[in-house]
Structures are given as structure tokens and as C-alpha cells.
Amino acid sequence: MSYQVLARKWRPRNFPAMVGQAHVLRALINALDNERLHHAYLFTGTRGVGKTTVARIFAKSLNCETGVSSTPCGECGACREIDEGRFVDLIEVDAASRTKVEDTRELLENVQYAPTRGRYKVYLIDEVHMLSAHSFNALLKTLEEPPPHVKFLLATTDPQKLPVTILSRCLQFNLKRMAPEMIGGHLAHVLAQEGVEFDPAALTLIAAGADGSMRDALSLLDQAIAYGGGKLVEDEVRAMLGTIDRGHVLRLLQGLADNDATAILETVNDLAQQGTDFSAVLAELISQLHTLALAQLAPATLEGLADQQALAALADKISAEDIQLYYQIGLIGRRDLPLAPELRSGLEMVLLRMLAFRPDSSTAQPEAQAQTPVTGHARPATTSAPAERRPSAVQEPAPPTAPTTGPDACPWPEVVQQLGLKGMAYQLAANSVLVGRQGTVIRLALSKQHATLRSKTLEQRLQQALSKYYGESVRLEFVSGGDNSQTPAGIQQRQAEDRQQAAVDAISTDPNVQRIREVFDAQVVPDSVRPLEQ
């Protein structure tokens, strides 16, 4: 007996054997069991998700000799003939090869006649969107008022091309792309029944390469079994699919984490020696950055991955801000990669751009300056500010409950500046007020306005920085009701406002500026004045 490919051998023959598409199967099963049958059904979805398979099982359910139900017997003559593709009352039409209106009219000439063998005459039109406009017009009247013994099952990968007059006369079911986990589980079941040895990682590669299509996954599985001589090994499947060795991508991520341009370029050179698709390398790098971002917020997402330990170490080493920056640079770089003179040089520039735009973690946020220098040629006017102006923020007293002895003598704003934090962790500290410290417990107050800054990851980073600053392990406790005006960020904002106002006053009172205003009837635009940073 000749060999039968897996995609045909393991094609489902009843609804329970279907993998996924539960939302479609539930509606069809209920319709069959309750005999609430429509005359026209439209199944949409990408290739290989089960459109034609569902239609054939539905046709079998309609014509099973035991009666209309969602569980055809599979043993009667009608069920066997439908499975073998020779049932006379199941008319399958490939609309891609019969697009002319003459073909459609010839097809519909026999609609009025009763079925020869079955209960219903079923027309299964695949890729129905390929019909011409005249063919749709010929089909429309019959589709609107078909004889009671006729059912239309339409399938298409592009429902947008169907006229609305056709769509409005059909019950439409959209079959979804299948998740890689679902595909991998079914492939494992198939291999177990076939008695084929396999690596779980090899199935993961095939499931990912199928791109949501079960038929493509079974076809790739056939190819992989032949390539591997009757078994599936990860390295062989990776070579067959042309996918990227994840070890190289992890080396690139490690080079980014270490800020090591030499290691990154050496890895790219190794990939070039293997003739790797550099566009695929960048795509895999972006995918792994996404995995790291998820791991930082939900470490459980790494469970079961082949490189769990390496990814966990990278997630701890690379900050969340850097991962987001690398991801964004990678997306833009992937879009622009075809514009590069060579794909290799394009990939290298994307990776070097990630290093070049990486925030400098060696410098903390600059401390607020108490002086009020001004722009332009105006002279500083330290005595021209009105007496009632607010005092400079540098005169703000430290929170009364702040510690005053030992290493805790520094007020909270100065402590924050010395922690060396950056990004969202710095914002969490800068928008908090130090309530007090009792032993190793530090209490911070955070207003409701900034409550969204709190997350487990950011709190851990702030706690680690404080432990390093105080030289002992400390624990953070957050309370609500913080005063924004007393936070380091609030103080810095008031200082900036005071410097801005002082600069505007200095410009306004400058004799040269006053002379210009008198001669030319000019005005000072306050928003155009900027204080000089010293």
C-alpha cells in the first residue's frame, strides 16, 4: 500500500477529533443537534486551520444514514463515501479554477433536482472569493432562496473580497490560527501513534514554523521525519527549517548586557560564516527581548523553556528600561534593514545603535542648582525679584521625621540623588516622601497620583539600592497620603520654577532690554526665556 502523508492520514473525521476552533464547533454541534440548520455557511480563516475539514464533517453529519446529528456514525455508506471523496451529493468546487460565470451557471443548473443518495445535496465551494463578479450575481439568487434539499458550504481565506450581498445571506464562522502550544501537543500525539522518536524542542520549532496552520505543521513534520531518517532531533530540524540557533541570539543579548561591542561583532561574524539570514536573526533577537520583558514582570513565563536559566540571568542583568529601548530600536531596525547596503552591516549597525543609545548608568540624576543664571546677554538680577516671591526650594527643610544621625543625616532628596537609580525606579524614589526609619524598615509615603509607579520589580530595585547605600539589608514599606510638594521631584520642580521666574525677572529688568522695549514697543515673551545651567 502506498504511503499516505500525515496531513491526509490524520485529517479529522468527526468534530471531537478537531483540534481547536471550539467556538465554531460549539455553534455547529448545537445547530445539528437541535435541527436549526441554515441554508448557507461561510467558513473563513488562514490556510490550514480546518475550513474544508469542518465543512466535510458538517456534510457527513447532514447525510449520515443514522440521521442528522453532530455525531455521524462513520460506518454507513454515506459517511465512508464522504471520507473517500466520492459521495455523489457532495459537490466540491475549487472556485480558483472555475471563476467564469459559465462554470457557475452549469453548476447551479442541477440545484433544483433532488439528491441522488443523501438527505441533502451539499455544495462545498472552496476559495469562493476567487469567483468573478458575474459568477457572484449568478450565485446570489440561488443562495438567497435555495431548495430545501440544498445546503451551501463556502470557504475562503479572504472574506473581504466577497460582496456584502453574499455575506448577508450566510452564517459566517471565522476559524482562528492555532497557538504553537496546541499544534505542538497534537504533533506529539501523532508521533506517539506513529512510533517516531522526537525531541520536544524539535516539535516546538515545527509548531512555530507552521505559523498557526495545522496542515502546514503536519507537512513540516513529514519533511522533518524524512530529513532525520525516522526521528526528530532539534539540531536537524533547525537546519531543515533554516531557523536561528538560539545560542547565538543569547550571546548577542549577553554582549548587550555587558556592553561588549567586540563580543557582539564576533557573534555576528560567526553567524555570517554559517550563511544565516540576518533578518531572521534580528527577528529572533526581538522575540527574546519580549521574553525577557515578560520574565521581569512574571518569572513563571520562563518555566519549561530550554534556556530558562540563561534567560533568567539576562532578565536580572538587563534593566527593564534597556530592554524596552533595545526592543524599539530592533523594531525600527528590522523595518529599515532592507535599505542597508548589506544585511550584515545593517544588523551590526542596529546592535551598535543599541549600545550607543544605552543610558549611562554611571551618573546619577544631576542635583538641582540653587542659582538663577539667565540666558542671552542679560545680567543676573539677584536683587530685582519682588520681596513677596517664594523662597528658593533649596531652603525647604527636610521632612521632620527624617533620620538625623549617622549615615542617615542626609535629607531624603540628597539620598535619592546618591542611589544611582535611573528610569522608573528613580521616579518611584523621587516621587516618595521619607516617613521614617525604624531599624531596618524604611517607610515611604506615595500619593495616590503616583501610586501606579509601584511594582514588585521597581520596589526590589529601590530596596537593593537603599541597602547598598546604608550598608545593611533594609526593607521597604509604603503608605499612602504622601505630599507631592515634599518629594524630591516636587522640590526639584519648584527649584526649576524659581530659576525660570528669576531668569524672566532678570531679563525684564535688564537696562538693555528695557531700552529695546521703549524704542521698538517690544514685549518679553516669558516662555522664550531659559535659565542657564551651571
Chain segment 110-163, per-residue pLDDT in tens = 888 888 888 999 999 999 998 888 888 888 888 888 889 999 999 999 999 999
The pLDDT of residue 163 is 92
Of 380 and 64, the one with more pLDDT: 64
The grid cell for 175 is: 476559524
Distance of CA 359 to the CA centre of its chain: 24
- Alpha-carbon distance 54 to 62, whole Å? 12
Spatial contact of 474 and 440, defined as CB atoms under 8 Å apart: yes
The pLDDT of residue 3 is 80
User: What Å distances lie between residue 401 and 432, 440, 442, 485, 490, CA to CA?
Assistant: 14, 16, 11, 16, 18
DSSP bridge partners of 441: 438, 475
Mean per-residue pLDDT for 481-492?
Answer: 77
The pLDDT of residue 398 is 40
- What average pLDDT does the structure give for the chain? 83
Most confident of 19-33, 292-306, 395-409, 458-472: 19-33
Which residue has cell 476567487?
Answer: 130
All domains in the chain, ordered by first residue = 6-174 (3.40.50.300), 180-241 (1.10.8.60), 246-356 (1.20.272.10), 406-484 (3.30.300.150)
Mean per-residue pLDDT for 441-462?
Answer: 81
Chain segment 371-397, per-residue pLDDT in tens = 434 444 333 333 333 334 334 333 343
- Is the confidence at residue 349, as pLDDT, over 80? yes
Q: Alpha-carbon Rg of the chain, whole angstroms?
A: 35
Spatial contact of 286 and 334, defined as CB atoms under 8 Å apart: yes
The pLDDT of residue 402 is 41
User: What is the 3-state secondary structure of 152-202?
Assistant: EEEEECCHHHCCHHHHCCCEEEECCCCCHHHHHHHHHHHHHHHCCEECHHH
Its pTM stands at 0.58
The pLDDT of residue 461 is 86
The pLDDT of residue 533 is 64
pLDDT confidence band for 403 (50 / 70 / 90): very low
The pLDDT of residue 361 is 53
130: how many CB neighbours lie within 10 A of its CB? 18
Instruction: Classify 92 as helix, strand or coil.
Output: strand
The pLDDT of residue 360 is 61
Spatial contact of 450 and 444, defined as CB atoms under 8 Å apart: no
- Alpha-carbon distance 164 to 473, whole Å? 68
The grid cell for 2 is: 502506498
pLDDT confidence band for 193 (50 / 70 / 90): very high
Which residue has cell 528600561?
Answer: 321
Spatial contact of 41 and 54, defined as CB atoms under 8 Å apart: no
The pLDDT of residue 521 is 77
- Is the confidence at residue 369, as pLDDT, over 70? no
Distance of CA 19 to the CA centre of its chain: 24
The pLDDT of residue 57 is 94
- Name which of 23-27, 320-324, 358-362 the model is least confident about: 358-362
Which residue has cell 521632612?
Answer: 399
The pLDDT of residue 95 is 85
The pLDDT of residue 236 is 86
- Is the confidence at residue 332, as pLDDT, over 90? yes
Mean per-residue pLDDT for 424-434?
Answer: 85
470: how many CB neighbours lie within 10 A of its CB? 17
Find the angle CA(202)-CA(206)-CA(211) to the nearest 5 degrees.
Answer: 150
The pLDDT of residue 60 is 93
Mean per-residue pLDDT for 286-291?
Answer: 92
- Is the confidence at residue 331, as pLDDT, over 90? yes
The pLDDT of residue 353 is 93
- Alpha-carbon distance 231 to 34, whole Å? 46
Identity at 182, one-letter amino acid code: M
